[in-house]
């Protein structure tokens, strides 16, 4: 076990630190915080790119090749960085001294404000608690078990990124979903041979989110203390706290959007580079990082294209305004080379990484299904551009807001008329900070930026507000977490504007953060269950024992065989299922080292041969199903059935049975 | 009106808005249910924690 943990820590430290050291050499063009964010984004891009190469081209997406490929790439990058800077010792020394200096600076800023210290302590306590719960409990959320983790299981069992047969509706969705984020979940399983921390994957994104909010705030001329205070506040969003330890991807999507926007601020419209916390300005590095973030975002969720179109449109508008004199010169002297100064850098440094990291999933869908966003139909003005199965979202609106108008719907959700918070609550989740403090701050900051013609402010605000406005489900709070960041930055601006007078708003913010801290405990994880799980060995801390209330009513009939699978199915063994299960994820063992296969539809002529051809070890059956009746008929007793099949004889041995399901083991029997 | 006076008015307006929104948010009937549910959680936490210590 220690070998796998060491391997996991080593490859992560090497990967992220090599990118950080590389970006350190570009410190004249990128600020310290942006280099931290950049190294996370580039590390993530490397993980996704190496998994795509191994999974699509070589079909060798296993722990060994993935480890060595990343070690090779990161070592090469590190060696290149140190070699090209002549003195490797001084580079490393400078990296350490800069880190030391920044940590001291952070400490000084913190020490200067008691409220900031209290807020940071609350954040640190909650983070430790989330990590503890994430480690202790398996992934228990609906979509994780339904498709996020089955995507990981499918890739791990085949060592390749393949299309699966469309046996059930969920298989269609598993095939067509963009999978960048699932590749990151896989990264957190494959080396450890356990899924115990993969549900903490989004922790990385909230850290990036806090850094990005801070960085945007600083670029918008907000003071360091206010920027730090407001960036900490985004953490105190109920849907964020509850989603950090789930295999959902909503924090990641919002944070990647913010990250792209943050790096695009280097392309400032106001030409006022004093807001950029760097000495020089070489646009290609921030532009490239924006492209990488946007590329990861594009390949992470079906709404990625919408976000990308808005970012690209904003850039085009900004570039046209910036270069209007070159495009429409009043006199020949003003004529410049728009292509060279604008289009080429954008194509090379922004669009290229965007396409490389994000487009594969859509191109594949286009080739295989004739529609990049299959199964959704795409039509404009009643003209169908891409045919699909569905014209609108499958998920119906909650009845409470179904007939409400646009603003009433938002008002209902933002005032949170629910009895508890949930990681994917559709009627709450942004918390009191958003409604009480951030919303008026946003209006205030927006009006102020219009009055003072603060173009950077307007660029960030308009881009995020338009994204929010055109999102077809903007009342679903988990899809609009990026608006909380905009609200927090606005609040930072308000803090700065009112100065000492505004101290009372900081106290209000702290009280609301503390209220959120106390009221976002997930009712899926009750204290008695935590105590019970603390006494259990890791192997027994399963979803079937957890019985979280969010799935319990639907899943209680399934617990028996889920528990049996996690206890007994070993690495390399294959479980065949004969019906559409509630969730696919619990059909694998904890480390996704076993395999699953759908053994249907039943055909009594060659069913057994199919099982043998697929090296099936166990078959999961529904009681009284065709397969069950067939086995019963052939047997004189439930155990010890011997069935002739070709040359070999196969024995079905019942190993699990409850009121609803059976699992039989296929063993080669001795010839009688 | 001086800039400082303008700022005072804006500050007053901002605080009034925040208080109004806070009243609106915390007087929603469901708020007491969230608080009640969470108090139950913390009560169970306290009992479990004390049990753990002993």
Q: According to the model, what pLDDT value does residue A308 have? A: 95
Q: What is the pLDDT of residues A579-616, one digit of tens each?
A: 999 999 999 999 999 999 999 777 877 888 888 889 99
ipTM of the complex: 0.97
- Identity of the residue in B14, B37, B52 whose CB atom sits nearest the CB atom of A531: B52
Q: Please check the confidence at residue A14 and state whether its pLDDT lies above 60.
A: yes
Q: How many CA atoms, within 13 angstroms, populate the side-chain half-sphere of residue A317?
A: 11
- Identity of the residue in B18, B22, B44 whose CB atom sits nearest the CB atom of A527: B44
* Cα distances (angstroms) measured from residue A376 to each of A302, A310, A370, A654: 10, 20, 11, 43
Chain B residues close to A494, C-beta within 8 Å:
14
A–B: how many Cβ contacts below 8 A?
A: 82
Q: According to the model, what pLDDT value does residue A640 have? A: 47
Question: Which of B3, B5, B17 would you mutate first to test chain A, the one with the most A CBs within 10 A?
Answer: B17
* CB pair distance less than 8 Å for A502 and B11: yes
B16: distance to nearest CA of chain A, Å? 10
- Identity of the residue in B14, B33, B38 whose CB atom sits nearest the CB atom of A494: B14
Q: According to the model, what pLDDT value does residue A254 have? A: 98
Q: Please check the confidence at residue A334 and state whether its pLDDT lies above 80.
A: no
Token pair 């590390």 is at which residue?
A: A43
Q: What is the mean pLDDT of residues A460-471?
A: 95
Other C-beta atoms closer than 10 Å to the C-beta of A272 total 12
Question: A interface toward B at CB cutoff 8 Å?
Answer: 415-421, 432, 435-437, 439-440, 444, 494, 497-498, 501-502, 504-505, 508, 518-519, 521, 523, 526-528, 530-531, 534
B9: distance to nearest CA of chain A, Å? 11
Tokens of A381: 């003005």
How far is A485 from A664, CA to CA, in rounded Å? Answer: 52
Nearest CA in chain B to A526: B41
* Cα distances (angstroms) measured from residue A554 to each of A230, A277, A580, A582: 40, 53, 14, 8
Question: Which of A132, A436, A510 would you mutate first to test chain B, the one with the most B CBs within 10 A?
Answer: A436
Cis peptide before A375 (omega within 30 of 0): yes
The whole-model pTM stands at 0.94
**Residue A340 pLDDT level (bands cut at 50, 70, 90):** low
Tokens of A514: 């503390």
Nearest CA in chain A to B23: A436
Mean pLDDT computed over every residue of chain A: 91
* CB pair distance less than 8 Å for B30 and A419: yes
Q: What is the pLDDT of residues A85-119, one digit of tens each?
A: 776 677 888 999 999 999 999 999 999 999 999 99
- Identity of the residue in A419, A440, A530 whose CB atom sits nearest the CB atom of B34: A419
- Identity of the residue in B14, B30, B45 whose CB atom sits nearest the CB atom of A444: B14
Q: What is the pLDDT of residues A392-421, one digit of tens each?
A: 776 778 888 888 999 999 999 999 999 999
Q: String of b and e for B4-42 (b: at least 16 CB within 10 Å)?
A: eeeeeeebeebbebbeebbeebeeeeebeebeeebeebe
Nearest CA in chain B to A495: B11
Q: According to the model, what pLDDT value does residue A238 have? A: 98
pLDDT (tens place) for every residue of chain B, 54 residues total: 788 899 999 999 999 999 999 999 999 999 999 999 999 999 999 999 999 998
Question: B interface toward A at CB cutoff 8 Å?
Answer: 7-8, 10-11, 14-15, 17-18, 21-22, 24-26, 28-31, 33-35, 37-38, 41-42, 44-45, 47-49, 51-52
SS3 of A603, please? Answer: coil
How far is A346 from A264, CA to CA, in rounded Å? Answer: 11
Query: Which of A354-368, A370-384, A425-439 is predicted least confidently?
Result: A370-384
* CB pair distance less than 8 Å for A415 and B28: yes
Q: Please check the confidence at residue A77 and state whether its pLDDT lies above 80.
A: yes
Q: According to the model, what pLDDT value does residue A271 have? A: 47
Vertex A243, ends A527 and A298: CA angle to 5°? 165
A138: distance to nearest CA of chain B, Å? 20
Chain B residues close to A435, C-beta within 8 Å:
21, 24-25
For residue A664, what are the β-bridge partners?
A619, A654
How far is A294 from A600, CA to CA, in rounded Å? Answer: 41
How far is A566 from A579, CA to CA, in rounded Å? Answer: 19
Q: What is the pLDDT of residues A228-258, one digit of tens each?
A: 999 999 999 999 999 999 999 999 999 999 9
Q: What is the mean pLDDT of residues A265-293?
A: 74
Burial label, A91 (beta-carbon count in 10 A; 0-12, 13-18, 19+): middle
For residue A621, what are the β-bridge partners?
A662
A530: distance to nearest CA of chain B, Å? 9
* CB pair distance less than 8 Å for B51 and A527: no
Q: What is the pLDDT of residues A306-322, one digit of tens each?
A: 999 999 998 888 888 77
How far is A538 from A536, CA to CA, in rounded Å? Answer: 6
Q: Please check the confidence at residue A53 and state whether its pLDDT lies above 50.
A: yes
Other C-beta atoms closer than 10 Å to the C-beta of A572 total 11
Chain B residues close to A504, C-beta within 8 Å:
15
* CB pair distance less than 8 Å for A519 and B30: no
Q: Of A537, A529, A579, A572, which Cα lies nearest the Cα of A558?
A: A579
Using a pLDDT cut of 90, give the percent of chain A over it: 74
Q: According to the model, what pLDDT value does residue A612 have? A: 87
How far is A19 from A42, CA to CA, in rounded Å? Answer: 7
**Residue A269 pLDDT level (bands cut at 50, 70, 90):** low
How far is A423 from A134, CA to CA, in rounded Å? Answer: 13
How far is A172 from A515, CA to CA, in rounded Å? Answer: 42
Higher pLDDT: A71 or A648? It is A71
**Residue A261 pLDDT level (bands cut at 50, 70, 90):** very high
Chain A residues close to B34, C-beta within 8 Å:
416, 418-421, 519
How far is A461 from A455, CA to CA, in rounded Å? Answer: 10
- Identity of the residue in B17, B26, B30 whose CB atom sits nearest the CB atom of A417: B30
Q: What is the mean pLDDT of residues A287-299?
A: 96
- Identity of the residue in A416, A498, A523 whose CB atom sits nearest the CB atom of B41: A523
């Amino acid at each position: 076990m220690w070998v796998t943990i060491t391997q996991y820590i080593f490859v992560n430290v090497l990967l992220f630190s090599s990118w950080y050291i590389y970006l350190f050499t570009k410190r004249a063009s990128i600020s310290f915080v942006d280099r931290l964010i950049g190294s996370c984004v580039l590390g993530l891009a490397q993980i996704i790119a190496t998994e795509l190469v191994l999974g699509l081209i070589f079909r060798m997406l296993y722990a060994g090749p993935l480890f060595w490929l990343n070690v090779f790439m990161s070592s090469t990058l590190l060696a290149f960085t140190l070699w090209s800077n002549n003195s490797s010792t001084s580079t490393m020394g400078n990296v350490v001294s800069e880190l030391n200096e920044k940590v001291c600076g952070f400490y000084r800023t913190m020490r200067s404000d008691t409220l900031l210290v209290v807020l940071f302590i609350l954040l640190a306590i909650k983070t430790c608690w989330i990590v503890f719960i994430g480690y202790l409990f398996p992934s228990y959320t609906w979509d994780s078990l339904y498709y996020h983790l089955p995507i990981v299981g499918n890739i791990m069992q085949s060592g390749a990124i393949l299309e699966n047969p469309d046996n059930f509706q969920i298989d269609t969705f598993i095939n067509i979903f963009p999978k960048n984020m699932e590749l990151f979940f896989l990264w957190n399983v494959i080396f450890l041979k356990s899924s115990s921390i993969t549900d903490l994957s989004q922790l990385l994104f909230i850290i990036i989110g806090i850094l990005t909010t801070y960085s945007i705030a600083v670029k918008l001329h907000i003071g360091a203390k206010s920027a730090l205070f407001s960036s900490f506040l985004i953490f105190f969003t109920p849907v964020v706290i509850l989603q950090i330890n789930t295999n959902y991807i909503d924090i990641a999507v919002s944070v990647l959007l913010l990250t792209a926007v943050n790096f695009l601020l280097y392309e400032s419209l106001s030409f006022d580079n004093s807001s950029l916390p760097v000495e020089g300005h070489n646009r290609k590095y921030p532009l490239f990082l924006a492209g990488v973030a946007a590329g990861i975002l594009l390949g992470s969720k079906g709404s990625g294209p919408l976000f990308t179109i808005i970012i690209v449109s904003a850039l085009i508008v900004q570039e046209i305004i910036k270069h209007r004199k070159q495009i429409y010169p009043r006199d020949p002297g003003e004529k410049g080379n728009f292509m060279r100064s604008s289009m080429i850098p954008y194509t090379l440094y922004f669009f290229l990484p965007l396409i490389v990291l994000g487009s594969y999933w859509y191109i594949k869908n286009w080739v295989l299904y004739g529609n990049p966003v299959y199964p959704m139909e795409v039509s404009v003005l009643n003209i169908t551009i891409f045919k699909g199965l569905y014209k609108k979202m499958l998920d119906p609106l909650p009845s409470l807001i179904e007939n409400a108008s646009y603003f009433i719907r938002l008002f209902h959700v933002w005032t949170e008329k629910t009895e508890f918070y949930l990681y994917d609550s559709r009627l709450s989740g942004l918390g009191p900070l958003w409604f009480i403090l951030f919303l008026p701050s946003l209006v205030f900051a927006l009006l102020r930026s219009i009055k003072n013609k603060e173009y950077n402010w307007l660029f960030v605000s308009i881009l995020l507000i338009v994204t929010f406005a055109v999102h077809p489900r903007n009342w679903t709070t988990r899809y609009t977490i990026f608006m909380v960041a905009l609200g927090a930055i606005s609040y930072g601006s308000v803090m700065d504007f009112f100065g000492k007078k505004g101290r009372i708003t900081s106290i209000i913010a702290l009280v609301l953060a503390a209220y959120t801290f106390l009221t976002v405990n997930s009712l899926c994880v009750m204290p008695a269950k935590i105590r019970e799980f603390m006494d259990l060995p890791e192997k027994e801390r399963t979803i079937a024992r957890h019985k979280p209330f969010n799935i319990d009513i639907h899943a209680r009939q399934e617990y028996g065989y889920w528990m049996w699978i996690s206890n007994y199915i070993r690495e390399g063994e294959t479980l065949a299922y004969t019906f559409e299960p509630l969730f696919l994820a619990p059909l694998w063992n904890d480390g996704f080292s076993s395999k699953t296969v759908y053994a249907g539809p039943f055909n009594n002529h060659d069913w057994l041969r199919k099982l043998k051809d697929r090296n099936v070890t166990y078959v999961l059956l529904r009681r009284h199903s065709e397969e069950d009746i067939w086995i019963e008929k052939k047997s004189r007793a439930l155990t010890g059935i011997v069935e002739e099949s070709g040359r070999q004889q196969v024995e079905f041995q019942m190993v699990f049975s409850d009121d609803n399901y059976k699992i039989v083991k296929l063993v080669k029997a001795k010839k009688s | 009106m001086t800039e400082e006076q303008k700022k005072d008015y804006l500050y007053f307006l901002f605080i009034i808005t925040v208080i109004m929104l806070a009243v609106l948010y915390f007087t929603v009937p469901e708020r007491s249910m969230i608080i009640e549910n969470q108090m139950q959680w913390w009560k169970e936490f306290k009992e479990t924690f004390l049990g753990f210590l002993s």
